[in-house]
Amino acid sequence: MEAILEHGALTVALTGHIDSSNAPAAEAELMAIRDREPHEAMVLDLKDLTYISSAGLRIVLRLRKLEPELKLVNASAEVYEILDMTGFTEMMPVEKAYRTISIEGCEVIGRGANGTVYRIDQDTVVKVYRSQDCLPDVQRERELARKAFVLGIPTAIPYDVVRVGDSFGSVFELLNSRSFSKLIAANPQDMDHYVGLYVDLMQKIHATHVKEGDLPSIRSFADSCVLYAKKELPEALGAKVEAMVNAIPDTDTMLHGDFHTNNIVMQNDEVLILDMDTLCVGHPIFELGSMYMAFVGFGELDPTVPEAFLKLPYAVTTSIWEKTLLRYASGDEALAARTGDRARIICYLRLLRRSLRRGGRDNPESRAWIELCLTRLTELLPRVDALYE
């Protein structure tokens, strides 16, 4: 057995088979290493362990009594299945070994707040997360996608977690799929058709009610946006926007949270939604504010920003927003206009918070966004008295 002591953690690598024939010798060696290496925590690395019998499992149980924070890592699929079936995954932290894939030369088919999606081959895509410490986020998104699927939302559920460089990724099967951004770019004459499908899916999501506690609420994020805005707006306008946001009812409505045309794909005539890490509950006006930001808001200072993101001209992304808004309002132009102003307020509150957190007035780019948001909010707030119907 090889052992490494780093930062107070003693990692011992187990190899080969551990069964009744060699379990006593393996336990004696393991305990000898433990006794001679002072440590604060202990980890068993199972990367090269091919099999463990009940005799080996009893070793782990006895070790855990001595090491309450014992952790098992790099378990192969076969070893993990044994640990899972015998209840070890419920008793202690057990991490699977993840296969490694390369994204070199792969097509980028989408970017989001937390990662980038690459097409690996005709059938497969992988979402690579930006943070190296993203495993909890990967598992969280898998669980959110599963919950949405069970509730009838057409989404692709990741079937594998892989290592990609220093980070991790979720692998999806997306056979011959194309995003709505690409479909509209290739078939601009069919924009109304795709906008119709886009709104149909959004309305299906917004018609889905979620049991309390199953998804996070957007309320805390909205409250955070208000706190930043109140520090920058004139007192009366700050108080007004706070009252209006507070008045938005806390509904159990499902929201995607990042509903733009890169995240909607067509696969064999079926419309699917991807990138479920922003799934939450709340009033639909928050969804619409996020959409306005993606299609229009990010381009107000520099139209090339949404153009680079969505791979569509800014005039087209603006048109998508306008058509989406009108269809969502069932063709009622007055309702669409009121909803559009409300969505813009939500957008500028979000952009203001983002700019203040990412550089503030000390950064020229952030300062320009702050001034734009304050100008827009100052124009909109006097004529808008409620953020929902």
Name the band, by pLDDT with cuts 50, 70 and 90, for residue 139: confident
What average pLDDT does the chain have?
Answer: 93
Query: Where would I find the H helices in the chain?
Result: 23-36, 54-66, 77-85, 88-91, 135-150, 180-186, 191-206, 219-232, 235-247, 284-295, 304-310, 314-328, 333-357, 364-380
Judge contact between 281 and 218, C-beta under 8 A: yes
Q: Is the pLDDT of residue 123 over 90?
A: no
- Banded model confidence at residue 119, pLDDT cuts 50, 70, 90: confident
Task: Give the three-state DSSP class for 143.
Answer: helix
Euclidean distance between CA atoms 223 and 245, whole angstroms: 8
Q: Choose the CATH number for 2-96 among 3.30.70.2860, 3.30.750.24, 3.40.190.10, 3.30.70.20.
A: 3.30.750.24
| CATH hierarchy code of domain 107-173 | 3.30.200.20
Task: Give the Cα separation of 276 and 258 in Å (integer).
Answer: 8
- 143-201 per-position pLDDT tens digit: 888 899 999 999 987 888 888 988 888 888 877 788 999 999 999 999 999 999 999 99
The pLDDT value given to residue 122 = 81
d(CA 170, CA 115): 10
For residue 110, is pLDDT > 90? no
What percentage of the chain reaches a pLDDT higher than 70?
99
Extents of the domains making up the chain: 2-96, 107-173, 178-383
Looking at residue 217, what DSSP letter applies? B
| Residues near 172 by beta carbon (within 8 Å), at least 6 away in sequence | 124, 125, 126, 127, 156, 157, 158, 159, 274
Please determine, for residue 26, whether its predicted confidence score (pLDDT) is greater than 80. yes
Instruction: Specify the pTM.
Output: 0.79
Residue 160 sits at φ, ψ, to 5 deg, of -155, 150
Report the top-level CATH class of 178-383: alpha beta
Mean pLDDT of the 337-357 span: 97
Q: What is the pLDDT of residues 242-258, one digit of tens each?
A: 999 999 999 999 999 99
